[in-house]
Each structure stands twice: as C-alpha cells, then as structure tokens.
Structure 1
Amino acid sequence: MPVLFETQYNPPAAFFAALAGQDALWLESHEHYRKQTYRNRCLILTAQGVKPLTVPVIDGNRSEKVRITELEIDYRQNWVHQHWRTLQTAYGGSPYFEYYADYLHDIYVQKPALLFDLNLSLLAFFLRCLRLRIPVEFTTEYHASYPPEALRDRRDWLSPKDPVTPEPDRTSVRPYAQTFGVQFVPNLSILDLLFMQGPAAGSFLV
C-alpha cells in the first residue's frame, strides 16, 4: 500500500521506519505550508539535550498561504553555517559523521531556492544511505483525506510539538547507543541514527 507524507527537513527516523513494506512513498505537493512542523525543522541531540534546527523561510508571517512547492528559503539568515556548525559540534565525534559529512555538506552548499527542493535532495540522500528502494511519487491535487483502503495517510503524523508519543508504530526505531546521555532519546532526526550506526542504520528501523 502507498504511504503519504509531507516533505520534511532531515525527517525523524520513524518516517523511514514507516516506509518498510509499503508499495510507494507519495509526497504531498499541493498543500499549503504549515509552521512549526517537520517541514522545515528537525530535532538533534546535543550535550545540552534535544535541539531543534529550523530552516527560515521568506515572508514567514505569510508563509502558511504559500503552496509548499513555492515556499522560498531565506538565505539572508546565515542558517546553513549555523546548522552545519551545530551538527559538527553535536556529532563530530560520532562513529560515522565523517563517513557522511562530505555528501551531506554538498547538499547544503548547493543552496536550493525552495524548501521543497532542499527536502527532496535530503530525502534522496537518506533513502540511498538506508538502502530503501521505494518509488517516490507526488500528489497531483490536494485532498484533505483519503480512503484508508487507498493509502496510508501519514501527513502530520509526526510532530516536533509531540516528539514522544505512546503509539508504538510511531516510535518504530530500535534503541541504539547515542552520543550523549544514558537513556535512549526517541524520535530524533535520521541524522542521529546514521551518524551513530552508519551502514547498519537500516537494521534499527523495525
């Protein structure tokens, strides 16, 4: 069965766990942007705890009236440098940061104009890293809901406002050793899993 998601910035690992066994990944391309979601932010683990990284968008006050495929990134803010420095500080000592760093950095320095395009480039990178071979398609029009027998609608299923949820199928990532702390922190960006487990990361998506 196809699964439908919105595009996300460095999505949580659970995003990729939800793709297992699905026929295709559909990406919502006709919605309007929504603030304070994973569309333009991710959660990583630092020495100070969980930290959000947010991609600024142009005309933030009006952004929710803009179609997601037309939303521009605000490069007047030096967010690329800030995000990269934060990732280096948080994960520079992790086992696989250097393994992925050059490929990931290349995506950032391309500076795509649109948030949608940035998220697509990152998604393609993560699918390759996790060896997830799943067709990726795009919606052709917006529907508020879909019949459950047609596809698995996972739009806004994961939220940075509620990163810890009791639903077991939303935290379907096997615990792994993390850089900071002794208690496993769930629902972080896929970057956390990749930097810690490298090519074995896919085996933790259950």
Structure 2
Amino acid sequence: MTKSIAVDLHYFPNLEFFAAILGADELVFFPELRYQRQSFFNRTQIRLANKVGTLSVPIQGRRPRISQEKIKVDYDQSWVNIHLRGIQSAYGKAPFYEYYFPYFEKVFEKNIESLWELNWEMLTICLKLLGVPVKMRVQSSSQDQSYTDDIRGQLMPSVPFSERNFYTPESYFQLFGLDFDPNLSILDLLFCEGPASKGILLKSVKKQ
C-alpha cells in the first residue's frame, strides 16, 4: 500500500519534519490552506557561534488572512543577504558546506516572489541531497481525501518536539561548543554530516 502523508510546507524544515515523513512514498501539500502566523512556513533555526538563531523570511502585508500560495516575499527588506551571511557564518567551516551551499544559493538568487514556491524548491533540493526518494504532490482542499496520514498543523514552534511522537534526538557533529542542539534546520545536519545525514535521520525516528 502506498504511504502518503498530508503535510505543511516549511522553510528549510527542521529534523522533526524529516523524521515524520521518512518512509513515505508521497507527500501531499495544500497551498489553499490559510497562512498561520508563528509557524514554520517562513522561519527556521540554525546554530550560530554563541546561540541558536532564527532565520525569518519577511512577507508582504500585515497578518494576512489569505492562503499560503498567495503569500508574497518582501524583497524591500534585505533578508536574502541576512540569510546568506547567517548561513555562511554558521556553516562556512562545516565539512560539506562547499558541496551543498551552491544548490541553495542558486535558489536565493532567483528572488522568487511566492514564499510557497521558494519553500517548494528548497525542500526539493533537501530531499535530493538526503537521498529520500519521496514524491511531492499538491492537492486542492476540495478534492477527496487521498492520503493515508495527516500531520498538518502538528509541527508548530509553540509546542516542543518532545511532546510529539515523531522525533527523538540522535546526536551528530556540530560546529561551536560541546552541547548538542537538537531539531535544528535540515541545513545544520546536511552541512555537518553530508551523505551520513539520512542514516542519522533514520535513527532519530521516534519508536512508537
């Protein structure tokens, strides 16, 4: 039986997201869903020298009560340079940075207007680099249910991952300091562990 999971689209998803979708044959996304503030749709966390920092993509308008597919990125703010500098500062000396960063840099340089499309392209690259052969499909909310699991709305910044049943931290090499920071952006794992990333994710899947 084909395993398909209905999921939310995140900006450089964290490790919990990937632990939750490993083993799926297909991911089903719903661009018509309303944009939710304080979600992972436009933010991710990376490990900096002295702290865990948040990268946020600014959006046009104020608290828009519209569908995710209509959210436009605000390029009047210099967020691209901020994100590029932040990623370089955090991971420029990581073992696999020089191999993987150009893939993402090319997408940043496109100045994609739609946040949905930006996230879609970045996630496609992440799945490819991880070696996770899962299909991605867009579905209208008006169509009949055609998925086996639904985790939409469950992965939220306001609730710790420890309270959900998807992810248990599996430590790996990180830059800066001795304490391990779990559940960061997938960028942290990819830049630090490269081809070993998928194996680490498999070990981090929470046993039911």
Q: Does 2:193 match 1:197?
A: yes
Residue 149 of structure 2 aligns to which amino acid in structure 1?
R
Q: How much does 1:164 deviate?
A: 4.2
Residue identity (%): 33
Q: Which residue of 2 aligns with 1:156?
A: 153
Q: How much does 1:126 deviate?
A: 0.5
Residue 69 of structure 2 aligns to which amino acid in structure 1?
T
Q: How much does 1:66 deviate?
A: 1.2
Q: Deviations over 1:75-125 (max 9, x none)?
A: 000000001001111111111111111111001010110000000000110
Distance of 2:175 and 2:190 partners within structure 1: 12
Runs of 4+ deviating beyond 3 Å: none
Q: Which residue of 2 aligns with 1:36?
A: 38
Distance of 2:196 and 2:108 partners within structure 1: 24
Q: How much does 1:163 deviate?
A: 4.2
Aligned length: 199
- Which shows bigger deviation, 14-23 or 91-100? 14-23
Q: Which residue of 1 aligns with 2:10?
A: 8
Aligned-partner SS, 2:52: strand
Q: How much does 1:172 deviate?
A: 4.1
Aligned-partner SS, 1:177: coil
Note if contact 1:30-1:141 (Cα within 8 Å) is conserved in structure 2: yes
TM-score, scaled relative to structure 1? 0.90
Q: Deviations over 1:58-86 (max 9, x none)?
A: 0033x2x1111111000000000001001
Q: Does 2:49 match 1:47?
A: yes
- Where structure 1 has 5 or more consecutive residues not aligned to the other structure, the ranges are none
Q: Which residue of 2 aligns with 1:182?
A: 178
Residue 152 of structure 1 aligns to which amino acid in structure 2?
D
Q: Does 2:18 match 1:22?
A: no
- Where structure 2 has 5 or more consecutive residues not aligned to the other structure, the ranges are 203-208
Q: How much does 1:142 deviate?
A: 5.8
Distance of 2:142 and 2:86 partners within structure 1: 36
Q: Which residue of 2 aligns with 1:138?
A: 138
